[in-house]
Chain A
Amino acid sequence: MSAPENGVNAETVRKIARLSRLHVAEGRLVPLADELNGILGWIEQLNEVDVDGVEPMTSAVDVSAPLRADQITDGGKRDAVLANAPKSDSGFYVVPRSVE
């Protein structure tokens, strides 16, 4: 399968991986780019469909988002919220320092 016009290369994969905080070994960059280009190329086929005059579909069901009233119905469950935290102290999550 040929790579689409706006295909990705190893450099793009490296960048996306960094933004997503994913570790991708150097040797995997080129194979991953190839696989992604394959997927993109496959999706590219959709461009062959003529959609002139068709409203863009924004969701599978044509309804507006349901809304809820402005009432306090949740919260007050600190123990549950912190239950899976690797570390907590005095009600805070504790994580490795995020600034110098």
Chain B
Amino acid sequence: MFTAERVADEKDWMKGETGDWELIIGLEVHAQVSSNAKLFSGAATEYGAEPNTQVSLVDAGMPGMLPVINEFCVEQAVRTGLGLNAQINLFSRFDRKNYFYVDLPQGYQISQFEHPIVGEGEIEIHPEDGDAVKVGIERLHLEQDAGKSVHDLSDDETYVDLNRSGVALMEIVSKPDMRSPEEASAYVDKLRGIVRALGTCDGDMEKGNLRADVNVSVRRPGGELGTRCEIKNVNSLRFIRQAINHEARRQIEIIEAGGTIDQETRLYDSVKNETRSMRSKEDAHDYRYFPDPDLLPLQLEQSFVDNIKATLPELPDARKARFVEEFGIPAYDAGVLTADKVTGDYYETTAKGRDGKIAANWVMGELFGALNKAGIDLADSPVSAENLGGLLDRIADNTISGKIAKTVFEKMFEGGGSADEIIEREGLKQVTDTGAIEAMVQEALDANPAQVEKAKQNPKLLGFFVGQVMKASGGKANPQAVNQILRAKLGL
């Protein structure tokens, strides 16, 4: 079960009073299936509805109501399993995980304990500050989400909304293969990219559609494993890193002071940046699982799995390798451009049949810069990939210079429209008519006789005249043509 004998790089060791410590990290990621209806009922899953308007009597745990499995959710679990290079179990079964909480009306969560739908797999992650690392997947299983408790509407009561109750989740359990906060967040980021590319989960961490429980323990580098603590429901990559850092530090301090770690569930408070104990130890992990008698086992045909396999889209790693190959861009750029599907699609449309490097520079430079500044998502970009591609065409065929292109881009970003329309409307077409340029060059030479003499001695001063002509033309003169004519006139 424990695949990793790997010892962390020294740079990832944590310094304590008594020496170095190594972090052992495993994650359980809950990814909400992007289905219309819930896992076992026909109620809607859409985010943000009025409380309790998307609840069936099944989701409310009413007596006598029977769950029926949503086929689409099964399909997404299998699709995700294939994307994680994992074993698909044709036989799986649903179990009841029993516990009492105000937002769990059934008194149990329907989950998969003994026979999950997906078994072991493996993915490769690319932490920003280190080499690629292989992370084992222990399993993926389907389960229901609970409802939502709201504690701030009353001083002595809790308000409960069951809209989320029964929504399908995929719980993806990693092996304890990560050794630093950065590796843990790179892993979640990679998972997010995979489920988004597959279309099985939207990966929206802000809405809680993808969230992580983090298991952390510490040990002497390469030494005996320590006792782990689980930090529940961490919902951003930054919080994952902070929570791990804090929790590891807490454990090290306890051990170095001669104490021992209690295995327990803790909660991360992002405001105070600390973790604190959540459940009393005696009740923890006694869920009394047993097979749900309301549900027959799930038995899939191999053909069901094969059909899904045949329609798998290209995954981020494969796409990255293809971008490097096909568009000749550096691996780093390809990584950024394939981090999610929308970005990859945008770049590919822009770069297709054009210079891939120039396209990458424009997408990652001008476009990302402008979007960032305006606080707009790429999906809502006022400049479409087609229009950005059209702009690059006009640079390539010398209709406009790279500098004017930035002006065109700004106008595009402000008001939309194609490059051709904007160039035409604003009269930004580059002057390539040598007669007109010659006249402007002559004018500049005549106006600055002293500079002419200097430039003849020192051709580096030519730039002054280029500048004058470009200014006179409003930036529209073709700089190569200006240079050529200048040199001819000065006999250089």
User: Footprint of B on A, CB under 8 Å?
Assistant: 15, 18-19, 21, 58-59, 61, 63-78, 80-82, 87, 89-99
Complex contact B57–A70 (CB within 8 A): no
Complex contact A75–B56 (CB within 8 A): yes
Complex contact B68–A66 (CB within 8 A): yes
Interface residues of B in 37-65 (CB under 8 A from A): 37, 41-44, 50-58, 60
Complex contact A67–B71 (CB within 8 A): yes
B-chain residues with CB within 8 Å of residue A70 when the two chains form the complex: 35-37, 70-73
A67→B297 CA distance, assembly (Å): 11
Complex contact A65–B153 (CB within 8 A): no
Complex contact A98–B291 (CB within 8 A): no
A-chain residues with CB within 8 Å of residue B296 when the two chains form the complex: 59, 61, 63-66
Apart from A81-B52, A95-B157: 17 A-B pairs, beta carbons within 8 A: A19-B283, A19-B288, A63-B296, A64-B298, A65-B296, A67-B68, A67-B74, A68-B70, A71-B37, A73-B37, A73-B42, A89-B159, A93-B52, A94-B157, A94-B159, A96-B157, A98-B149
Q: Which 7 A-B pairs have the closest CB atoms?
A: A73-B42, A70-B72, A75-B43, A64-B299, A74-B42, A67-B71, A74-B56
Complex contact B156–A97 (CB within 8 A): yes
Q: Tell me which of A69, A74, A99 contacts B72 (CB under 8 A).
A: A69
Complex contact B156–A91 (CB within 8 A): no
- Indicate if B219 sits at the interface (CB-CB under 8 A): no
A90→B58 CA distance, assembly (Å): 22
- Indicate if B154 sits at the interface (CB-CB under 8 A): yes
Known A-B contacts A58-B291, A64-B297, A97-B151; A72 and B43 likewise in contact (beta carbons under 8 Å): yes
A-chain residues with CB within 8 Å of residue B43 when the two chains form the complex: 72, 74-75
Complex contact A67–B69 (CB within 8 A): yes
Complex contact A65–B295 (CB within 8 A): yes
A85 CB to closest chain B CB, in angstroms? 9
A-chain residues with CB within 8 Å of residue B74 when the two chains form the complex: 67
B456 CB to closest chain A CB, in angstroms? 78
- Indicate if B129 sits at the interface (CB-CB under 8 A): no
Q: Pick 15 A–B contacts, CB within 8 A, sort by A.
A: A58-B93, A59-B296, A67-B74, A72-B42, A74-B42, A75-B56, A87-B157, A92-B51, A92-B161, A94-B158, A96-B158, A97-B151, A98-B102, A98-B151, A99-B149
B-chain residues with CB within 8 Å of residue A19 when the two chains form the complex: 98, 283, 286, 288
B-chain residues with CB within 8 Å of residue A68 when the two chains form the complex: 42, 68-71
B41 CB to closest chain A CB, in angstroms? 6
A-chain residues with CB within 8 Å of residue B36 when the two chains form the complex: 70-72
Known A-B contacts A81-B60, A97-B151; A71 and B157 likewise in contact (beta carbons under 8 Å): no
- Indicate if B132 sits at the interface (CB-CB under 8 A): no
A94→B52 CA distance, assembly (Å): 12
B-chain residues with CB within 8 Å of residue A61 when the two chains form the complex: 296
Complex contact B69–A72 (CB within 8 A): no
Using CB atoms, name the residue of chain B closest to A80. B57
A68→B51 CA distance, assembly (Å): 25
B-chain residues with CB within 8 Å of residue A93 when the two chains form the complex: 52, 102, 159-162
Complex contact A81–B151 (CB within 8 A): no
B-chain residues with CB within 8 Å of residue A90 when the two chains form the complex: 51, 153, 159
Using CB atoms, name the residue of chain A closest to B98. A19
A91→B159 CA distance, assembly (Å): 9
Using CB atoms, name the residue of chain A closest to B287. A19
A-chain residues with CB within 8 Å of residue B290 when the two chains form the complex: none
B-chain residues with CB within 8 Å of residue A92 when the two chains form the complex: 51-52, 150, 153, 159-161
B-chain residues with CB within 8 Å of residue A91 when the two chains form the complex: 50-53, 161
Complex contact A97–B55 (CB within 8 A): no
- Indicate if B464 sits at the interface (CB-CB under 8 A): no
A95→B157 CA distance, assembly (Å): 6
Known A-B contacts A64-B296, A65-B296; A75 and B53 likewise in contact (beta carbons under 8 Å): yes
A91 CB to closest chain B CB, in angstroms? 4
Complex contact A65–B73 (CB within 8 A): no
B292 CB to closest chain A CB, in angstroms? 10
B-chain residues with CB within 8 Å of residue A97 when the two chains form the complex: 151, 154-158
Using CB atoms, name the residue of chain A closest to B53. A78
A51 CB to closest chain B CB, in angstroms? 18
B-chain residues with CB within 8 Å of residue A96 when the two chains form the complex: 156-158
A66 CB to closest chain B CB, in angstroms? 6
Per-residue contact bits, chain B 297-316, to A (CB 8 Å; 1 contact, 0 not) = 11110000000000000000
Per-residue contact bits, chain B 8-49, to A (CB 8 Å; 1 contact, 0 not) = 000000000000000000000000000111000111100000
B-chain residues with CB within 8 Å of residue A75 when the two chains form the complex: 41-44, 53-56
B-chain residues with CB within 8 Å of residue A76 when the two chains form the complex: 53-54
A99→B300 CA distance, assembly (Å): 42
A59→B115 CA distance, assembly (Å): 15
B-chain residues with CB within 8 Å of residue A80 when the two chains form the complex: 57
A90→B157 CA distance, assembly (Å): 14
A92→B153 CA distance, assembly (Å): 10
A63→B69 CA distance, assembly (Å): 14
A-chain residues with CB within 8 Å of residue B288 when the two chains form the complex: 19
Complex contact B70–A65 (CB within 8 A): no
Using CB atoms, name the residue of chain A closest to B71. A67
B-chain residues with CB within 8 Å of residue A58 when the two chains form the complex: 93, 291, 297
Using CB atoms, name the residue of chain A closest to B301. A64
A76→B154 CA distance, assembly (Å): 26
